[in-house]
Structure 1
Amino acid sequence: MNVYDFDETIYKKDSTRDFVFYLFKKYPICFIDLPKIGFDGLLFLFKIIDKTTFKERLYNFFRLIKDIDKELEIFVEENLHKIEPWYLNQQKEDDLVISASPYFLVKAFLDKIDVKHLIASNVDKNTGKYTGLNCYGEEKVKRYREVYNNKEIEEFYSDSLSDTPMAKISKNAFFVTKGKITNWKL
């Protein structure tokens, strides 16, 4: 089994950031939440709130979007070209994508490229509320083991050092920087 991070690994940018900007641009009413988001950003920066709390508060503006499913569909169609060609060329049927981004967002992309296995942050697309923790760092290993036990990871790909715990449990690990793949030196 090969395992991949999503954002800035097989998707050229950060899909969550892209989706948030897309919604803010299309729905100016979202700007009503901007002061609160900025304040929460400072609380996170100064470690007063954790990453999951910050992201949940950020995603709270989803409540302002009347038909988020329609917007998600349009967004994915407009951004599908950001899937890295190198990934599409080596894609296998049993690939797993593991991501800190919301499950509903990543799944919408993976459905288009026929990837069936996903572990990601469980976020309600209508309220922004999390069920469980942000799927990040050690949490990725925990969530992987809950589903796959000790199944060997043949190859792991990521752009982020925060994924070092996943790299350490993999037979081979690769670091991805702007589409360039190098061996991950652990």
Structure 2
Amino acid sequence: MTIALFDFDGTITNRDTLWEIIRFHKGRAAMYAGIVQLLPALVQFKLKLTTAQHIKEQVLGYFFGEMPAADFTRYCEDFCAQRLPAIIRPEALTAIRNHQQQGHHVVVVTASAQDWVAPWCRSENIICLGTRLEIKNKSITGKIRGINCNGEEKVNRIRQAYHLENFREIYAYGDSKGDLPMLSLAHYVSYRAFS
């Protein structure tokens, strides 16, 4: 058996989907107003004074905190149907379909929330392992459940889902340092292959 592991943002897509889903559902003006409010935290992140998980939770909490989970799910499905196809890299989609045609098991492993990646993955018959968002009282809190699915956590999530020793060949595709631990699992590595 063969498995192909794909990062999502920047590898399959040509931009970060967190800001895209915010722009899609809140509008450009509301997104920029939010960025102004979040600027101190964003600057701290750029200066490496806070973690990716912390800043992601602040952004998610600001834009989606206390939103009913059912509404958020519907928004994510709309995003996957209406906006996401326009930012998918055609070369990445070709690579995915080449693997599928050969009978390979294709998995997206992403730091983005599963909520707005999994619907697209399902439409393409791809498994999605992504960051999981916390839900309390049937609402999005903005917090991440567990650990942001990036860096070593990508490896942890892959190993939780699969016995890699059962695969004769492992392919991995990524575009950033957060993908390097995942890429280290592979026999065949593609780094920034589609950009």
Report 1 or 2 for greater relative contact order, CA contacts < 8 Å, sequence distance ≥ 6: 2
State whether TM-score is above 0.5: yes
Q: Given the alignment, which residue of 172, 180, 183 partners 1:156?
A: 172
Structure 2 counterpart of 1:44:
45
Offset, 1:10? 1.9
Instruction: Point out the more displaced range, 123-132 or 53-62.
Output: 123-132
**1:23/1:94 Cα in 2 relative to 1: closer, same or farther (>3 Å)?**
same
Distance 2:49 2:121 in 1: 34
RMSD, aligned α-carbons: 2.5
Q: How many pairs are equivalent?
A: 177
- The CA deviation string for residues 30-84 of structure 1, in whole angstroms up to 9 with x for no partner, is 6664444212112222333211011001001213756323322222122224333
Structure 2 counterpart of 1:121:
131
Offset, 1:88? 4.6
Q: Post-superposition, which runs of at least 4 consecutive aligned residues in structure 1 deviate over 4 A?
A: 30-33
Structure 2 counterpart of 1:82:
87
Tell me the TM-score normalized by structure 2: 0.77
- The CA deviation string for residues 72-126 of structure 1, in whole angstroms up to 9 with x for no partner, is 22221222243334235314262111011111111021122121x2211112472
Distance 2:50 2:175 in 1: 25
Structure 1 counterpart of 2:182:
166
Tell me the TM-score normalized by structure 1: 0.81
Distance 2:119 2:162 in 1: 22
Structure 1 counterpart of 2:115:
104
**Is 1:62 aligned to 2:64, yes or no?**
yes
Distance 1:34 1:58 in 2: 9
**1:132/1:64 Cα in 2 relative to 1: closer, same or farther (>3 Å)?**
closer
Asked if structure 1 preserves the Cα contact closer than 8 Å seen for 2:6 and 2:12, the reply is yes
Distance 2:32 2:13 in 1: 26
Asked if structure 2 preserves the Cα contact closer than 8 Å seen for 1:10 and 1:87, the reply is no
Q: Which runs of 5+ in 2 are unaligned?
A: none
Q: Which runs of 5+ in 1 are unaligned?
A: 181-186
Letter in 2 for 1:95: V
Identity fraction in percent: 23
- The CA deviation string for residues 131-150 of structure 1, in whole angstroms up to 9 with x for no partner, is 11111112211221222244
- The CA deviation string for residues 13-34 of structure 1, in whole angstroms up to 9 with x for no partner, is 2222211222331783x66644
**Is 1:139 aligned to 2:141, yes or no?**
no
